[in-house]
């Protein structure tokens, strides 16, 4: 296996947003066994170095491909589109929605049942994430890179909000 493959090629996959996570996980375990540096201890220095490089490439590719936001950014990068993480969306309706969702998150502690309010907010945000992932997949599949880039920006917002919801949940139940 060459060490200059893109992340999809490492796993023998076609570049696409939608992928079978179980296939990815199985292939990852298979490649980990095949290129584990311990298997190369009695081999030449160059073979040992190659195994180390391959193991690192396999780990990096797996990390990127298993995460939808990273996978989307990587697909756009392969298509020649760099999306800076600090760049925001210009969709004012989406930004207003984000402000309202963040206000809801801030007000969770004041609710009669904070856990239920948090669950409801999380369900809403997970639904928005799923919708935006579908939009990205459709735009990318249609080679509409500008629309795919916009979906990625929105996904970044939504995933960050989902992490903040998780953090708030930990705060609620640990205090």
How large is the average pLDDT for residues 6-33?
Answer: 94
- All domains of the chain in start order, with CATH: 7-66 (1.10.287.110), 92-174 (1.20.1280.20)
Query: What is residue 67's predicted lDDT score, i.e. its pLDDT?
Result: 96
Q: Is the pLDDT of residue 167 over 70?
A: yes
pLDDT digits (tens, 9 = 90+) for 123-145: 999 999 999 999 999 999 999 99
pLDDT digits (tens, 9 = 90+) for 61-98: 999 999 999 999 999 999 999 887 777 888 999 999 99
Provide the 8-state DSSP code for 75: H
For 41, phi then psi, to 5°, come to: -65, -30
Residue 81 C-beta-side C-alpha neighbours within 13 Å: 19
């Amino acid at each position: 296996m060459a060490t200059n493959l893109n992340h999809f090629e490492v796993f023998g996959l076609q570049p696409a947003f939608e992928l079978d996570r179980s296939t990815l996980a199985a292939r990852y375990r298979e490649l980990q066994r095949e290129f584990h540096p311990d298997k190369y201890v009695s081999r030449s220095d160059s073979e040992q170095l190659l195994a180390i490089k391959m193991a690192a490439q396999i780990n990096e590719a797996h990390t990127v491909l298993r995460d939808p936001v990273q996978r989307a950014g990587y697909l756009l990068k392969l298509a020649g589109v760099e999306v800076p993480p600090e760049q925001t969306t210009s969709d004012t309706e989406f930004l207003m929605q984000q402000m309202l969702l963040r206000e809801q998150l801030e007000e969770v502690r004041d609710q009669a049942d904070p856990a239920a309010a948090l669950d409801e907010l999380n369900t809403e945000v997970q639904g928005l994430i799923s919708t935006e992932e579908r939009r990205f997949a459709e735009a990318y599949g249609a080679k509409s890179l500008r629309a795919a880039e916009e979906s990625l920006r929105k996904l970044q917002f939504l995933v960050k909000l989902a992490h903040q919801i998780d953090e708030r949940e930990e705060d609620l139940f640990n205090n």
